[in-house]
Amino acid sequence: MILISGSAAFADGMTSLMGWPYGSDFGPGLNYATQSAASTDTIPRRISNIVYPVIGLPALVEPESELTVIVYFAENEAYLDPDEWQLQISTGFKNPDDSFARIGDRVVQSYELALEAIAFDDATSTYHISCRIPATAPRDLYTIVVSTDLFWDFQPAAVRIQDEIGDSFSFVHFTDAQPTDIRTIGDDNEWNAHDYPGSGLGERGYAIFTNEIKNELPLLQPAFAVFTGDMVYNAALVAENDESYRIIQDTQVPLFLTNGNHDGYARFNGPDVRQDGLEFFNRFYGPNYYSFDVGSVHFVVLNSYDGDPARRHAGQLVVATPVDNWGGFLSEKQLAWVEADLADAQSRGQTSLLFMHHDPRGPYTADQPYPTSPIAGDGEEYWNYESSEWDSDPTDDIHNETPADNTGTRLLALALTHGVTHLFIGHNHFDGIWEFQAGDPLTDRFGDAVGGLSALQPFTVVQTTACAGNARGTGGDLEYNGYRWVQVENGNIVSLEFNAAANVQSIPAGNFWLEDFNNDGRYTHAQVVITNALPDDLGVAVEFYLAGIANGYQILDERTQLPLSFTDLGLGQNGELVVYARATAKGTGAKPADFPPAPGQEAKTMLTSRPHPTNQQPIVSFTMAPTNEEFTYTFDAADSVDPEGGELLYFWDFGDGRLGTGQTISHHYIVGGPNLITLTVVDPFGGMAATQSLLELADCCPDRDHDTDEDLCGECGMTGGTPDYLGFASLLAVAAFVFALRSGARKRS
């Protein structure tokens, strides 16, 4: 980890460079979740110790790659012994100190991250922990858990393991959820087949958003998704952020988030800021401007509702938020950062894409002090500027702007100069694409010239409809909620539209969903049913959670009776098998004029599991031997084989609450005592075998109760003895699983 001039750069597999706006030069540094003294209301926080990766800025990593985890902990500056830290990733998690239900997959897989280095940064009071991703951890989205004797913390949906993407991949752009927008009540949008409820405030919006996050995006499995703001409507800031967080923490697709104007409104008590929406965003989701690389493509995500709380001043009504200035604006600090970031990407020969909520092309409206016209307003607001009549922040360097020269036109000039090819925006709740060739004058959506600017190379502005909020058409265009599927090949965007012939640019929401039966890890026969109302076939990703058995499984497409290929396999905490597979969900084949189909006329694809009819159980065996380091042993499973010659996966439980993967592995024990070692091997069809061996280690202090004593032991250095690591399976559950495999027992079918 290197901190230079307030920026951090570090390698995380495919996310090879993170341009970070927070560093030692900026206040609290990387602990952007620390509440400022400006807000008088206490802001609930979902970000505490872990500040990277987080739910709104996840890490994209490959198997066996390095991950740098940043942890804020100011109370102790010398906590550098690797034995005092445990980092774990898990596909499911239950926070015992919170009211949230368990998140993630219904069958939990946990994998330990091997620590390689720990450093402490005095300027930001952060630990930078370098660790290694396990080679055999399935390609999935994980919660990360950090635990020590002094604290523990977790971040859901924060680490995505996937194969190297390279320069060809797909991602999703979505925006403007605003589930409690009163305008969604009674919406009857075209191209949305699912009959969502619409009688109560937020009922329809939350239903659409939940299906997108928990059903549609996980089925489509893009490499990631970028959300460009208005997560909430902001009539009830705490309740809305709580509910949105509950939804997105349960996704299976990494989400890169930033805020919109509704997220960033500020409320006052007299001269004092009572609630600053931007602080809410930081404390719930993470930073709101940053950059990252995927292959040769550079993604830049901005906060386009920047500036002093005075210009973001909003009132409070039960179902609405009166506000004077809801257009875009950038601070001088953010402009300076994006200029340096784009210049650096250009110097490295990268293609840059820009993501933000507002359209910097305007039209432009002068900022006004609240309350000038917060109810009627000035019509639609796209971008605001600081005029000579009112300056919201006299202490900054932005004064006397004009419609021809403001932070929007300055940003566009930077984008055109530094080779940005596409600008993705939201805010206006309908789809639109504006293309400019080299030499074309830049115009806004109404065709008016923008700041005398011209494109220096092909430049495209892409606006995406509201994913769940009030969707609007333009003229005779269709109105629908949805999200945009973007296809990149060889570093260039090659597809932006779902159905160009029907003028449906985004994938309309509510047109496919998944139902499953007996799919919870207890059964051998489970079924997944995918309903698709779209005309076209869809390539989808599915997960089966099955009982662990000796001979493994086949997953059949009931239409073709052909088995699916497994893309990955995982082991649940209680010995369940997790099967990852890809399938084709048939479409209706209907013409656009016949869409959406009547209820019951959608296409259905049924996938069913069954025990493999011919696969043989693998043979499991291992040896263990001490190393030259006390309490450190090497475990070797080279004698484990698959009778059919397939490659095995190896899952270790070392008996002290720690886990490992790989054929050969070393493990260091912190305290002595009996440790029941368990090795489980899995063959390419999910066939399992397990064995156990007891390892007795001399206890440095046998008369001491390691479970209850609170004093520090001078020999082993432990308080309370054996660490109470979170989220791992109990030895009883593991022993029962091993017995079932050895005896040939079958679970329910």
Q: How many domains does the chain contain in total?
A: 3
What's the rounded mean pLDDT across residues 68-75? 84
At residue 499, what are phi and psi to the nearest 5 degrees?
-145, 90
pLDDT at 657 > cutoff 90: no
Cβ proximity of 230 and 261 under 8 Å: yes
What's the rounded mean pLDDT across residues 696-701? 74
Helix axes 277-284, 237-248, angle to 10 degrees: 30
Distance CA 77, CA 85 (A): 14
Cα-Cα end-to-end distance for the chain: 50
Last residue of a domain, one of 161, 188, 219: 161
Residue 630 lies in a domain: yes
290 or 492: which leads in pLDDT: 492
Give the residue among 238, 79, 86 at the shortest CA–CA distance from 153.
Answer: 86
Distance CA 692, CA 709 (A): 30
Q: State the CB neighbour count (10 A cutoff) for residue 397.
A: 10
- 594 and 639 belong to one structural domain: no
- 589 and 639 belong to one structural domain: no
- 150 and 36 belong to one structural domain: yes
Confidence of residue 698 (pLDDT cuts 50, 70, 90): confident
Cβ proximity of 681 and 693 under 8 Å: no
Between 23-37, 64-78, 435-449, 517-531, the lowest mean confidence (pLDDT) is in 23-37
Residue 298 lies in a domain: no
What's the rounded mean pLDDT across residues 528-550? 95
Cβ proximity of 564 and 607 under 8 Å: yes
- 515 and 591 belong to one structural domain: yes
Amino acid at 203: E
Distance CA 588, CA 60 (A): 35
In tens, the pLDDT along 150-196 reads 888 999 999 999 988 889 999 999 999 998 887 776 666 667 776 66
Between 103-112, 687-696, 730-739, the lowest mean confidence (pLDDT) is in 730-739
Residue 519 lies in a domain: yes
Last residue of a domain, one of 143, 161, 179: 161
What's the rounded mean pLDDT across residues 23-44? 52
> What confidence score (pLDDT) does residue 742 get?
42
pLDDT at 96 > cutoff 90: no
Domain CATH for 544? 2.60.40.1180
Cβ proximity of 330 and 304 under 8 Å: yes
> What confidence score (pLDDT) does residue 317 get?
75
- Per DSSP, 406 falls in state S
What's the rounded mean pLDDT across residues 217-240? 94
589-596 long-range contacts (CB < 8 A, ≥24 apart) are 589/535, 590/535, 591/535, 592/499, 592/501, 592/502, 592/504, 592/535, 595/191, 595/193, 595/502, 595/533, 595/534, 595/535, 596/191, 596/192, 596/193, 596/511, 596/533
399 or 319: which leads in pLDDT: 399
Q: State the CB neighbour count (10 A cutoff) for residue 683.
A: 28
What's the rounded mean pLDDT across residues 280-286? 90
Give the residue among 269, 275, 307 at the shortest CA–CA distance from 394.
Answer: 307
CA distances from 105 to 109, 250, 542, 544 (A): 8, 8, 12, 10
Residue 697 lies in a domain: yes
Most confidently modeled range among 127-136, 176-185, 238-247, 635-644: 635-644
- 650 and 607 belong to one structural domain: no
**Residues 388, 389, 394, 398, CA torsion sign:** negative
Domain CATH for 720? 2.60.40.10
Amino acid at 469: G
- 75 and 104 belong to one structural domain: yes
Q: 574-611: string of b/e by CB count within 10 Å (b at 16+)?
A: bbbbbbbbebbbbbbebeeeebbbeeeebbebebbbeb
Beta-strand (E) ranges in 356-481?
364-366, 383-385, 420-425, 432-436, 441-443, 449-454, 459-463
At residue 443, what are phi and psi to the nearest 5 degrees?
-130, 160
What's the rounded mean pLDDT across residues 621-639? 95
Length of the chain: 749
Paired residues of 462 in beta bridges: 424, 433
Residue 24 lies in a domain: yes
- 4 and 151 belong to one structural domain: yes
pLDDT at 707 > cutoff 80: no
Cβ proximity of 169 and 295 under 8 Å: yes
- 38 and 112 belong to one structural domain: yes
What's the rounded mean pLDDT across residues 103-110? 90
Residue 251 lies in a domain: no
Tokens for 742? Answer: 């050895």
Give the residue among 214, 408, 198, 228 at the shortest CA–CA distance from 302.
Answer: 228
Q: Which residues contact 689 (CB under 8 A, 6 or more apart)?
A: 550, 617, 618, 619, 620, 640, 680, 681, 741
Distance CA 687, CA 693 (A): 21
Give the residue among 268, 285, 67 at the shortest CA–CA distance from 156.
Answer: 285
- 9 and 111 belong to one structural domain: yes
In tens, the pLDDT along 329-349 reads 999 999 999 999 999 999 999
Q: In what order do the strands lie in the sheet with 290-294?
A: 290-294, 297-301, 351-355, 420-425, 459-463, 432-436
Confidence of residue 695 (pLDDT cuts 50, 70, 90): very high
- 574 and 594 belong to one structural domain: yes
> What confidence score (pLDDT) does residue 568 get?
96
380 or 552: which leads in pLDDT: 552
Q: Where are the alpha helices (DSSP H) in 348-427?
A: 407-417
What's the rounded mean pLDDT across residues 277-285? 91
Cβ proximity of 353 and 297 under 8 Å: yes
Q: In what order do the strands lie in the sheet with 632-636?
A: 623-626, 632-636, 664-668
Q: State the CB neighbour count (10 A cutoff) for residue 122.
A: 8
Amino acid at 207: A
Q: Which domain holds residue 700?
A: 623-743
C-alpha triplet 34, 40, 46: angle, nearest 5°? 35
- 604 and 717 belong to one structural domain: no
Cβ proximity of 250 and 186 under 8 Å: no
> What confidence score (pLDDT) does residue 29 get?
42
Q: Three-class SS of residue 410?
A: helix
Paired residues of 422 in beta bridges: 353, 460
Distance CA 343, CA 50 (A): 30
For 526-554, give the DSSP string: -EEEEEE-SSS-EEEEEEEEE---SS-EE
In tens, the pLDDT along 570-582 reads 999 999 999 999 9
- 597 and 659 belong to one structural domain: no
Tokens for 633? Answer: 């042993």
Last residue of a domain, one of 568, 589, 611: 611
> What confidence score (pLDDT) does residue 196 get?
66
Residue 603 lies in a domain: yes
